[in-house]
């Protein structure tokens, strides 16, 4: 089970390698990954069974972005990464400003994605974005969904899958971050915004990243209802002008629900949030219900 009691010993070994006392470490979050801060670094512990190739690709992508001068959070240079500790992939990152007093704005995220999407395809092998398979796997593996919820999600997936296969993406394919949002961006201490969280780095349609931002703008607080317009102005392309964009946003929402259904444990607040989101798929009116970030 992926819980703090499991990842604290992993953290202790990393702290030993770095020369930091593990008792000084602070847990930032424990959901997709366990993320701790200690000294001048951030330690990210992946669940057991994390794909080794994916971990190595993430490190290679970040190194490539740094070499090209793209504004990204950087890996800690004192270790060869990724680390493997007690069956867990571990990465250690330079600590940046959490930006609580000056949060990343959606317009800044638009600029970051515009510049990311303008880069050439990196030379390392990248996994291809395959949301249909991802959603189906997450739904069938979830421990919190009842039969009615599982059927609802799989029926919705069947409806959206044909549309995905037929989509012709006007912006083309490139390196995508795959989960861009204001919470996956940080500031350097000089105030410069940078992208973080490259676990999902993939080769896919640029529109997927844009749809992710749109979903976050409509579902979470903050940002507010006008923020996607700010993103669009900074990115330089109006996604809403593409007729298939709303359907892509629906698929992205379904993936967000399914992924968290797979990660959540029964009886937790995370599970309650997943049930809330599923209820909204049939109960939302003209105004989509708000979600709580997980």
Task: Extract long-range pairs of 285-291: CB within 8 Å, 24+ residues apart.
Answer: 288/218, 288/219, 290/219, 290/220, 290/221, 291/219, 291/220
- What are the pLDDT digits (tens) for 173-226? 999 999 999 989 999 989 999 999 999 999 999 999 999 999 999 998 766 656
Evaluate the CA torsion angle 17, 75, 24, 292 in order and state its sign. Answer: negative
Domain with CATH 3.90.1200.10 in the chain: 106-283
The CB-side HSE value for 220 (13 A sphere, CA atoms) comes to 18
pTM as predicted:
0.93
What does the alpha-carbon distance between residue 7 and residue 46 come to, in Å, rounded to a whole number? 9
Q: What percent of the chain has pLDDT over 70?
A: 96
Domain with CATH 3.30.200.20 in the chain: 4-94
- At a CB cut-off of 8 Å and minimum separation 6, what does 64 contact? 122, 123, 124
Please check whether the domain covering 106-283 is classified as CATH 3.20.10.10. no
Q: Tell me the pLDDT band of 282, cut-offs 50, 70 and 90.
A: confident
**CATH fold for the domain made of 4-94:** Phosphorylase Kinase; domain 1 (3.30.200)
Return the structure tokens found at 102. Answer: 């000056």
Report whether pLDDT(288) > 80.
no
Closest CA relative to residue 57, chosen from 152, 227, 175, 174? 175
């Amino acid at each position: 089970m992926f819980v703090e009691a499991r990842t604290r010993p992993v953290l202790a070994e990393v702290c030993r390698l770095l020369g930091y006392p593990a008792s000084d470490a602070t847990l930032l979050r424990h959901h997709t990954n366990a993320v701790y801060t200690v000294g001048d670094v951030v330690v990210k512990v992946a669940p057991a069974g994390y794909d080794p190739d994916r971990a190595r690709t993430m490190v290679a992508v970040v190194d490539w972005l740094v070499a090209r001068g793209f504004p990204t959070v950087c890996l800690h240079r004192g270790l060869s990464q990724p680390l493997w500790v007690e069956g867990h992939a571990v990465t250690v990152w330079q600590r940046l400003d959490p930006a609580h007093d000056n949060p990343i704005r959606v317009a800044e995220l638009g600029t970051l994605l515009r510049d990311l999407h303008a880069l050439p395809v990196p030379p390392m092998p990248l996994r291809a974005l395959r949301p249909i398979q991802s959603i189906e796997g997450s739904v069938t593996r979830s421990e919190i969904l009842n039969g009615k919820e599982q059927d609802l999600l799989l029926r919705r997936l069947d409806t959206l899958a044909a549309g995905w296969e037929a989509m012709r993406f006007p912006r083309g394919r490139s390196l995508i971050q795959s989960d861009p949002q204001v919470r996956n961006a940080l500031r350097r201490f000089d105030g410069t915004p940078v992208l973080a969280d490259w676990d999902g780095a993939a080769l896919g349609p640029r529109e997927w990243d844009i749809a992710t931002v749109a979903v976050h703008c409509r579902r979470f607080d903050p940002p507010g209802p006008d923020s996607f317009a700010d993103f669009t102005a900074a990115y330089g392309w109006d996604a809403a002008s593409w007729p298939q964009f709303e359907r892509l946003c629906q698929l992205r929402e379904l993936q967000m629900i399914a992924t968290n259904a797979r990660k959540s444990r029964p009886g937790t607040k995370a599970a309650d949030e997943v049930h809330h989101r599923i209820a909204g798929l049939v109960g939302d009116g003209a105004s989509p219900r708000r979600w709580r970030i997980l």
